[in-house]
Amino acid sequence: MAYNGGPMTEAMYYVLLALMHPNHGYQLMQAITEVSNGRLIMGPGTLYGVLSRMQKDGLISLAEDDGRRKTYQITLEGERALRMEFSRLKAMIQDGSILETGDENE
Amino acid sequence: MNKIVYKLRPSDYWRIGEHENWFADMAAKGFHLKKMGVQFARFVKDEPKKIRYRIDVCIKKKITAEQIQMYAESGWDYVTSYQFFHVFSSPEERNAPELHTDPAEQSYTLKDLDKKLARNAGIVMVSILLMFGMLFSIWFLDGTPTFVLVQGLAIQQTILTIFIGFTAYTTLQASISIRALRKDLIEGKQINHHAPWKKHHIRNSILAFFCTVVVGLTAVLPFVQLVKADTKTLPEASPALPIVRLADIEKNPALVRGESTYMGDNVDWGNRYTYEWSPLAPVQYETDENGVVPGKMWEYGSSEYTPSIHTRVYQLSIPGMADNLISDLIKRYNYEYSVEDFVTIKHPKFDHLIVHEEEELKEVLASEGKNVILVRYHGYADLDSVIENIEEKIKIISK
């Protein structure tokens, strides 16, 4: 399914986030764990699937390819999509702030 | 060198979790997967080891070096591929992270396969409908299914169609299963990597054995029929054969054999008998005989009197088919006369006796137990004489 601007999967979001710095394979998995503060550990199958799909959708591109190892980077379109998703998530957090006031009333 | 062991592979290739579990169970017994063939999986005998196996789906038959590299860096070794399924393994002590940590993402890997299988299932279903249609026409176009069955003409096609039908069912099952698996993944349900495989495996092994035997026998059947079948020129006398002879009906010493109308393979086809075999009618005779009485003329017209006889003899495996065979024989070889012209007569020596008389044409169909005889006679001898002869001959075949 081509990315249509709707809500991203968690995997997509973090891969794009991690690819703000061009990266490859194993290191990218580590970067994802890092950027999610250890909350998300992504398996190589999931990562590979997300990478090939997002590359097809034009959200990321190859920065370098030495045959065995491919280095990916985020594209302009990818960054735009990531920022849109970020504002969407932020709006969702703000909308959820009533839960925090509710807690305070307790 | 380590011993190589072949095991019948599960035919239901779409059950991913069961395959993973099967490979793992085999490795625990010391059989390590090396390759998947068409029918067999190849294992190498080695130390028993606890190994995890994971199967990745990719519509491309060749997996990319990048993917292999990426998985290897996480502790997953590429083992082998079969069609769209790629097997990776990792010893348990290596504690490698799961390949797929996000079921929803994994569901994308099934999308193309799902589409492809759905398309296959569609094509196969249409073809199988066409095949059933063709088979149906062989069987029922003439409305004589028993005859078709007894002659053994359509047995092979029928069994093959059943097996192709079974294959079609499998294709459909694959498509439905992969669709269901994809749905489960989208809903966040992980693949069960420890799905029990034994029940399906036993069922598949029995089925594979059974299919091989039946298809093998079916393939042999036409050859047996060919070898057993034979056509010869009728001898002057044939006391041992259950064939009603022209001379016995005519009872005229002046009767001589008619000139042969067609000779082929050293057989006079105007005076021949054909022996045939089929599973449901192990003894079958079909005969033609033409005679002439020199000097005697047909009552109408100015040509010489040339009586003729055509007979069919069947000994069935299943006596219960006799009645249906008779009515099919009437339908199949009767163009001019309607079925109502055939009259059933009660006779102590036959289970069933049907006659049809139209001037010099006399047709008699008789059955007794598992034996069926049809006689079509052209000539001036009377019907009773034909029936008496059938009575004699049916005794011969009953022995």
CB atoms closer than 10 angstroms to residue B278: 22
Check residue B218 and give its pLDDT.
83
Min CA distance, A43 vs chain B (Å)?
5
Q: Are A40 and A32 in contact (CB under 8 A)?
A: yes
State the fold for domain B229-398.
Answer: Protein Transport Mog1p; Chain A (3.40.1000)
Number of domains in chain A: 1
Check residue A102 and give its pLDDT.
59
- In tens, the pLDDT along B309-362 reads 999 999 999 999 999 999 899 888 877 788 788 999 999 999 999 999 988 999
A67 contacts on B by Cβ (under 8 Å): 65
Which residue in A9, A26, A70 is closest to B102 by CB distance? A9
Residue A48 maps to a domain: yes
B240 touching chain A per CB within 8 A: no
Residue A10 structure tokens: 């968690």
Cβ distance of B70 and A44 shorter than 8 Å: yes
CA max distance for chain A: 60
Question: Whole-angstrom Cα distance, residue B328 to residue B323?
Answer: 9
Cβ distance of B69 and A25 shorter than 8 Å: yes
Residue A84 confidence class, pLDDT cut points 50, 70, 90:
very high
Check residue B158 and give its pLDDT.
81
The residue-averaged pLDDT of A61-65 equals: 88
Distances in whole angstroms, Cα of residue B29 to Cα of each of B33, B34, B258: 11, 15, 79
Which residue in B69, B98, B109 is closest to A49 by CB distance? B109
Question: Whole-angstrom Cα distance, residue B386 to residue A10?
Answer: 91
Question: Whole-angstrom Cα distance, residue A89 to residue B320?
Answer: 78
Residue B280 class from Cβ within 10 Å (0-12 exposed, 13-18 middle, 19+ buried)?
A: middle
Which residue in A26, A42, A53 is closest to B101 by CB distance? A42
Cβ distance of A1 and B102 shorter than 8 Å: no
Chain A window 18-77: which residues touch B at a Cβ cutoff of 8 Å? 25-26, 29, 41-50, 53, 67-70
Check residue A81 and give its pLDDT.
94
Residue A77 maps to a domain: yes
CB atoms closer than 10 angstroms to residue B363: 23
The DSSP code sequence of A30-54 is HHHHHHTTTS----HHHHHHHHHHH
Q: Are B96 and B74 in contact (CB under 8 A)?
A: yes
Q: Best of A47, A65, A69 to disrupt the B interface by mutation (most B CBs within 10 Å)?
A: A47
B98 contacts on A by Cβ (under 8 Å): 43, 45
Residue A4 maps to a domain: no
Cβ distance of B65 and A42 shorter than 8 Å: no
Question: Whole-angstrom Cα distance, residue B362 to residue B329?
Answer: 15
Min CA distance, A106 vs chain B (Å)?
35
Check residue B382 and give its pLDDT.
92
B74 contacts on A by Cβ (under 8 Å): 26, 29, 43-44
Residue A17 maps to a domain: yes
B106 contacts on A by Cβ (under 8 Å): 45-46, 49
Check residue B59 and give its pLDDT.
84
Residue A106 maps to a domain: no
Residue A3 maps to a domain: no
Q: Are B362 and B356 in contact (CB under 8 A)?
A: yes
Domain harbouring A26, CATH code: 1.10.10.10
Residue B368 structure tokens: 């007794």
Min CA distance, B145 vs chain A (Å)?
52
Q: Are A80 and A88 in contact (CB under 8 A)?
A: no
Check residue A13 and give its pLDDT.
93
Q: Are B383 and B362 in contact (CB under 8 A)?
A: yes
The whole-model pTM stands at: 0.75
Report the DSSP beta bridge partners of residue B272.
B233, B288
- In tens, the pLDDT along B207-266 reads 888 888 888 888 888 888 889 999 999 998 888 899 999 999 999 999 999 887 788 888
Structural domain containing residue A31: 10-101
Domain ranges of chain B: 4-94, 103-196, 229-398
Q: Are B90 and A33 in contact (CB under 8 A)?
A: no
B59 contacts on A by Cβ (under 8 Å): none
B67 touching chain A per CB within 8 A: yes
Tell me the backbone φ, ψ of residue B17, rounded to 5 degrees: -60, -40
Question: Whole-angstrom Cα distance, residue B147 to residue B145?
Answer: 5
Q: Best of B69, B78, B191 to disrupt the A interface by mutation (most A CBs within 10 Å)?
A: B69
pLDDT in tens, chain B (399 residues): 689 999 988 878 889 999 999 999 999 999 999 999 888 999 999 999 999 999 999 888 788 888 999 999 999 999 999 989 999 999 999 999 999 999 988 999 999 999 999 999 999 999 999 988 988 888 888 788 888 888 877 777 788 888 888 888 889 999 999 999 999 999 989 999 999 988 888 888 888 888 888 888 888 888 888 899 999 999 988 888 999 999 999 999 999 998 877 888 888 989 999 999 998 999 999 999 999 999 899 988 788 999 999 999 999 999 999 999 998 998 888 777 887 889 999 999 999 999 999 889 999 999 999 999 999 999 999 999 999 999 999 988 887
Question: Whole-angstrom Cα distance, residue B130 to residue B141?
Answer: 15
Question: Whole-angstrom Cα distance, residue B269 to residue B248?
Answer: 20
Strand, helix or coil for residue B334: coil
Residue A100 confidence class, pLDDT cut points 50, 70, 90:
confident
Cβ distance of B106 and A49 shorter than 8 Å: yes
Tell me the backbone φ, ψ of residue A3, rounded to 5 degrees: -70, 130
User: Among candidates B269, B320, B288, which has minimal Cα distance to B150?
Assistant: B320
Residue A1 confidence class, pLDDT cut points 50, 70, 90:
very low
Question: Whole-angstrom Cα distance, residue B43 to residue B45?
Answer: 6
Q: Which residue of chain A comes nearest to B97, CA vs CA?
A: A43
The count of CB pairs under 8 A between chains A and B is 69
Check residue A104 and give its pLDDT.
53
Min CA distance, A105 vs chain B (Å)?
35
Q: Are B168 and B122 in contact (CB under 8 A)?
A: no
Q: Are A3 and A54 in contact (CB under 8 A)?
A: yes
Strand, helix or coil for residue B372: strand
